[in-house]
Structure 1
Amino acid sequence: MLGGGLPIYHVHRTIDELDGKRFGDDTEIIYVNGQIQNDTMLGHLMHDFFCKNPADMRSKLLAERANFFKSNEHGVSTMCDIMEKLIADKVVKIIINQLKIHMPYEQIAQVTETPLDEVIRIAKESNLAY
Structure 2
Amino acid sequence: MIWMTDAIHIPGTGRPLFPDGQPVVRLETVDSATGRRFSDRTEVILFNLRYKGNSKRGDLAHDFRETDPKKMKNPLLRELMQRVKYTEKGEMEMCELTRQIFQDGKTEGIQEGIQEGIQKGEIRSSRKTAGKMLRKGLYSLQDIAELTSLSLSEVRRLQAELNP
* TM-score normalised per structure 2: 0.57
Shift of 1:22: 2.7
Q: Given the alignment of the two structures, is residue 7 of structure 1 paired with residue 32 of structure 2, yes or no?
A: no
Q: Given the alignment of the two structures, is residue 62 of structure 1 paired with residue 77 of structure 2, yes or no?
A: yes
Q: Which whole-Å CA distance do the structure 1 matches of 2:108 and 2:78 have between them? A: 33
Q: CA, structure 1 residues 66+96, in 2 after alignment: closer, same or farther (shift >3 Å)?
A: same
Aligned residues: 102
Shift of 1:14: 2.6
The Cα offsets for residues 5-64 of structure 1, whole Å up to 9 and x where unpaired, read as 21110001134677x553111112211111112111111000011111000001111101
Alignment of 1:85-124 (within 5 A): 85-102=100-117
Displaced runs of 4 or more, over 4 A: 15-18
Q: Which runs of 5+ in 1 are unaligned?
A: 104-130
Q: Which whole-Å CA distance do the structure 1 matches of 2:26 and 2:63 have between them? A: 22
Q: Which whole-Å CA distance do the structure 2 matches of 1:15 and 1:85 have between them? A: 35
The one-letter amino acid of 1:69's match is V
* TM-score normalised per structure 1: 0.71
